[in-house]
Chains A and B, each alone.
Chain A
């Protein structure tokens, strides 16, 4: 169809009624607060698209629904992988009898999931044409793949057929991956939703449209899709199914869930209806009117349903609304640019000289994190004392941060190090030159609140502040190019291991995830050792030292980790917010007659 005819058809279609597009039966209704972009795992970069991808595709491994801290369990793999003695070879046996969802590209035949599908899916991350933002999960790890990617850059075509030493499929249900060096965290990579298996026929048939025609072997398939508006998933009739049999441990709420869900065939629901609702008001009102079943993106209105001590207000409890309260596996932090220069001008807050450390420390001591939690987060966050948040392996709840809130001491510190006030009341550098702290943020209402808090902090210690506004893409670019002198950043765990957070301060990650552009030999040395260790006391010891190094250098001020208040209607059964998994939909049920 040529473009004009096609456009006309789509236009008329957007008016007309669509063919029956609502799944029958038990449909879970949820919302996304940011629009999705597409559902091709190798071509997607955003969080919300990732959620849908998790529901549609099968990964080799996944997480146990109830185990805390999060524990890996087999998914499409029949068992956990066999790891060679040198830690470099992983052998996965694929479960037999997993089938892709029906789709015209399979020409009417039932299509079984094979090891080749996983190999193909991994190769796609290396294909320059896909420009996958998550290529870093694999780049530099698998033997022979980087060379293949280099060739593709030169020739313009990626060779999916060429044999590769690091990615082998000796038979249809065995996948052998050889890594260049041992990587303890590699199993987490194959639990990451974007590494789910895609069918080659589907990718080749749909070409550029693959993001809107996902074909997977997972529990759900895409039934109806109105871009940036509605995503309707239906149960995949050919799904192999799972049985709910998780161990609740001692947690009373988990025990209740286990009582009701044990033994059920999963997925227990028939479909999921996702509405894109960008405004908090809309989401909150929709939930209150029972138009949605689960809602956990309600930070802005938390005070209307939460009491000060973190419980659900009585009027909501009476209505049977359930609350599931967890801390997100994330941290928010204030990052200082640690380099000596920004562009070609000297950076007044960077470097390791004592007076610079004093400057950063004073700013950190003048920033009121409690007010941030109370006013900006509306009480729905906890102070982050450690770079690794709760729920992530390596978190230490007993660690107390070095930097207190003490504006008076901050002022005294600056006085002591020669940051004298000029005629205009603002402090100057010790060498007499003017001092301007340039703080960068995006022009959103949320960032405006951070601006105000930061301004207050800097005003308290007499530092002149200049706020630079950049739209989000520009902000990212400036951040990665180390052109941001001071800014607030956040990191959500990709996988539940502390290494994912500590790497944010590792020197070689500058221009990638190291937003403070921090390069400390002391830190780097310890990080390298820690990345070879499994989670445990030895690694914790290193992490303590690394955190203290970062604090004494005052490269960051740790701010907070947000609480996640997940509200559910009375008829939602078995929901608890998982620290890593997003598709709890697979593990819950809808029951119109709640027992509790």
Chain B
């Protein structure tokens, strides 16, 4: 196990190197020149040249790459080109709002999804099962964009149950007023795919030999489901959630943008729009590392729980 872990950690390096090179050259090649944006209404050549000098983009590529590598090692990516805010500050302050929405969202959709999936797995093959599955498919066929637009229009505008957007001061305020609609939309969008996926996990387990054995031993169906199947299906469910996390953080930008939540996803969009390289660099590196770490943890978890699993 230890040897495997070390080997995987060692493999982080070429992957990270690949990510770094890819981002670096892509950005320099096609990422855009922020100098003109930062130069304001009347950019003369000296202003542009000065800006580029201040940002350090007029240095040769090798030098810039070296600076990038140093930044990764120290974890300090400098300041945003457009706001001068320290990049590490940006992440620290934006993480809170993102997580305030994400954690409840994941918890609620997972629990609801598991409950629903268990129920349909229990009555697999029946009309209920099929109807729920079809309903899920229909729900999934509608774009997240539509969910956001419609929910915001009805629940915030017409009914006035929630603020349209924004973020408050206290945690309680945020969680129970501002984040609610975002969480509701998030759950609505992820419930259907979760139910389908978890149903597959549950069915995988139900088809296993040990379940047949348990039934043969005389255990009630309920006990079989709740005690045995659930516990075993929990593993792929949990690992599935873990694996999604890094992507979710940066990927929740649509919800954050529409609901005015000052989170990481929204920050990424802003950075891309402004060609703000320090933030893009930092996001890419953090997400890459997070993805690799999470993958490793998921694999180790599998191994720890099921010793038959062969780790290569």
Contacts and interface: CB of A to CB of B under 8 A. Distances in A.
The short answer to whether A and B are in direct contact, CB under 8 Å, is yes
Contact of B153 (A281, A289, A512): A281
Interface residues on B, range: 35 or more
Which of B38, B54, B94, B96 gathers the greatest number of chain A CB atoms within 10 Å?
B38
B204 to A, nearest CB: 38
A579 B258 CA distance: 31
Which of A45, A288, A494 gathers the greatest number of chain B CB atoms within 10 Å?
A45
A279 interface: yes
Contact of A6 (B38, B89, B95): B89
A37 B85 CA distance: 9
B235 to A, nearest CB: 30
Contacts, number: 176
B41 A494 contact: yes
Contacts of A208: 79, 84, 86
Interface string A187-206: 00000000000000000000
A474 B275 CA distance: 9
Given A212-B85, A471-B275, A512 B43 contact: yes
Contact of A135 (B47, B76, B92): B47
B45 A6 contact: no
A43 B43 contact: no
Nearest to A443: B273
B82 A37 contact: yes
Which of B36, B42, B273 gathers the greatest number of chain A CB atoms within 10 Å?
B42
A4 B76 CA distance: 9
A85 interface: no
Contact of B152 (A228, A281, A471): A281
Interface string B149-166: 000110011001001111
A480 B36 contact: yes
B260 A17 contact: no
B126 interface: no
B12 interface: no
Interface in A1-49: 3-4, 6-11, 13-18, 21-22, 35, 37-38, 40, 43, 45
Contacts of A40: 84
Given A8-B92, A43-B84, 6 more contacts: A10-B92, A208-B84, A279-B258, A281-B153, A282-B152, A473-B275
Contacts of A131: 38, 47, 50-51, 54
A476 interface: yes
Contact of B84 (A15, A17, A38): A38
18 contacts: A3-B86, A9-B92, A15-B171, A16-B170, A131-B50, A136-B42, A227-B93, A229-B260, A229-B262, A275-B166, A278-B257, A282-B260, A473-B37, A473-B274, A474-B275, A477-B33, A512-B44, A513-B42
Interface in A257-306: 275-279, 281-282, 285-286, 288-289, 291
B35 to A, nearest CB: 8
Interface in B16-48: 32-45, 47
Contacts of B37: 45, 472-473, 476
Contact of A473 (B32, B83, B84): B32
B17 to A, nearest CB: 23
Interface string B84-107: 111011111111110010000000
A480 B51 CA distance: 15
B83 A38 contact: yes
A229 B160 CA distance: 22
A471 to B, nearest CB: 6
B169 interface: yes
B270 interface: yes
Contact of B32 (A13, A228, A471, A509): A471
B247 interface: no
B166 A285 contact: no
A128 interface: yes
B122 interface: no
A511 interface: yes
Which of B153, B163, B164, B257 gathers the greatest number of chain A CB atoms within 10 Å?
B164
B47 A3 contact: no
A4 B75 contact: yes
B302 interface: no
A35 B83 CA distance: 10
Interface of B: 32-45, 47, 50-51, 53-54, 74-76, 79, 82-86, 88-97, 100, 152-153, 156-157, 160, 163-167, 169-171, 257-258, 260, 262, 266-267, 270, 272-275
Interface residues of A, number: 64
Contacts of A277: 164-166, 260
Contacts of B91: 7
B42 A6 contact: no
B189 to A, nearest CB: 18
A153 B97 CA distance: 42
Contact of B171 (A16, A227, A278): A16
Given A11-B95, A476-B36, A480-B36, A228 B270 contact: yes
Chief secondary structure at chain B's binding surface? helix
A229 B84 contact: no
Contacts of A474: 32-33, 275
B236 to A, nearest CB: 31
A509 B35 CA distance: 18
B180 to A, nearest CB: 15
Contact of A45 (B40, B92, B100, B166): B40
Given A17-B171, A136-B47, A286-B164, A276 B32 contact: no
Given A3-B75, A471-B32, A282 B92 contact: no
B242 to A, nearest CB: 21
B164 A281 contact: yes
A464 interface: no
Interface in A289-339: 289, 291
B96 to A, nearest CB: 3
Given A14-B96, A21-B169, A277-B260, A472 B273 contact: yes
B164 A285 contact: yes
Contact of B270 (A3, A35, A129): A35
B277 to A, nearest CB: 11
B164 A227 contact: no
A278 B262 CA distance: 12
B96 A45 contact: no
Contacts of A134: 40-41
A118 B237 CA distance: 63
A418 interface: no
Nearest to A153: B50
Given A45-B38, A227-B85, A18 B165 contact: no
Interface string A220-232: 0000001111100
A45 B42 CA distance: 10
A423 to B, nearest CB: 36
A219 interface: no
Contacts of B258: 279, 282
A348 interface: no
Contact of B88 (A3, A227, A480): A3
Interface in A341-363: none
Which of B33, B79, B89, B171 gathers the greatest number of chain A CB atoms within 10 Å?
B89
Contacts of A480: 36, 43
B165 A282 contact: yes
